[in-house]
């Protein structure tokens, strides 16, 4: 079985990248990382990649002042050269242009730390607490030109608990991100998550879910 070749784009810590590295280490996982690309030379995720023997590249946006097209064309060429089939944004903190998003339409996914379409953008945990929601979580979605928009592939909900602050909530969400991202990649690699208009349809058996209630009944 040939594995789906991933290109992972990072800007920093790379804990979601690590979750993908760990998932790909399992012989039966249907994807492999062909390239990790960072827009920052000091991103810790680059060290994680080197340790795992994965090819890396840095394309620093500051080397392209006022020239986003050239920055993105360089990233695009690097991903193509590595044979990447699916680009995974994993804490990549640059907004991609409609051109780049169009080049990778339905082959570009993102993980976002909220239950979209709630709390697009930054500071999602602070805003979830301020809104008083009882569930928060994370979303993996196909990328469209509008920020944090696009067909939803998978979501994980976590409860907001009494006494939570943004840090404790972020930690709980991050733990769920690390499970959700490899799960979503697997669904795509197995051909089970297919874009249908503005939605993703999941093909094949899906276990029934019980209702979640918070506070519990
Ligand atoms: C993650 O929580 C990810 O969901 C978020 O940045 C963090 C990166 O952490 N992404 C965004 O906010 C994108 N809008 P990591 O570098 O440890 O994976």
Is 192 known to sit in a ligand binding site?
no
Torsion of CA 59, 96, 5, 17, to 10 degrees: 70
CA of 27 to the centre of ligand 1 (A): 26
Pocket of ligand 1 (CB under 6 A): 12-16, 90-91, 111-113, 174, 177
CA distance 40 to 210: 42
- Print pLDDT tens along the chain (217 aa): 799 999 999 999 999 999 999 999 999 999 999 999 999 999 999 999 999 999 999 999 999 999 999 999 999 999 999 999 999 999 999 999 999 999 999 999 999 999 999 999 999 999 999 999 999 999 999 999 999 999 999 999 999 999 999 999 999 999 999 999 999 999 999 999 999 999 999 999 999 988 999 999 9
Distance CA 168, CA 53 (A): 33
Mark whether 125 is an active-site residue. no
Measured distance CA(196)–CA(84) in Å, rounded = 23
C-alpha–C-alpha distance, residues 65 and 189, integer Å: 36
Question: Selecting from 3.30.450.80, 3.40.50.170, 2.30.110.10, 3.40.190.10, what CATH number does the domain 4-197 have?
Answer: 3.40.50.170
What residue spans define the domains of the chain?
Answer: 4-197
Residue 136 pLDDT: 98
């Amino acid at each position: 079985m040939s594995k789906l070749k991933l290109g992972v784009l990072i800007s920093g810590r790379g804990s979601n990248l690590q979750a993908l590295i760990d998932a790909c280490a399992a012989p039966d996982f249907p994807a492999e990382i062909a390239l990790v690309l960072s827009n920052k030379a000091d991103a810790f995720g680059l060290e994680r990649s080197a340790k795992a023997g994965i090819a890396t590249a840095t394309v620093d946006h500051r080397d392209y002042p006022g020239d986003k097209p050239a920055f993105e064309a360089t990233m695009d060429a690097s991903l193509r050269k590595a044979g990447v089939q699916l680009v995974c944004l994993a804490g990549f903190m640059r907004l991609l242009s409609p051109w780049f998003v169009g080049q990778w339409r339905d082959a570009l996914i993102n993980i976002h730390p909220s239950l979209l379409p709630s709390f697009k953008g930054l500071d999602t945990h602070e805003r979830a607490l301020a809104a008083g929601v009882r569930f928060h979580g994370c979303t993996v979605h196909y990328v469209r030109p509008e920020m944090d928009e696009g067909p939803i592939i998978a979501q994980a909900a976590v409860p907001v608990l009494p006494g939570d602050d943004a840090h404790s909530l972020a930690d709980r969400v991050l733990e769920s991100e690390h499970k959700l991202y490899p799960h979503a990649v697997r669904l795509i690699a197995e051909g089970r998550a297919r874009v249908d208009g503005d939605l993703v349809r999941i093909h094949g058996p899906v276990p029934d879910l019980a209702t979640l209630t918070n506070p519990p009944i």
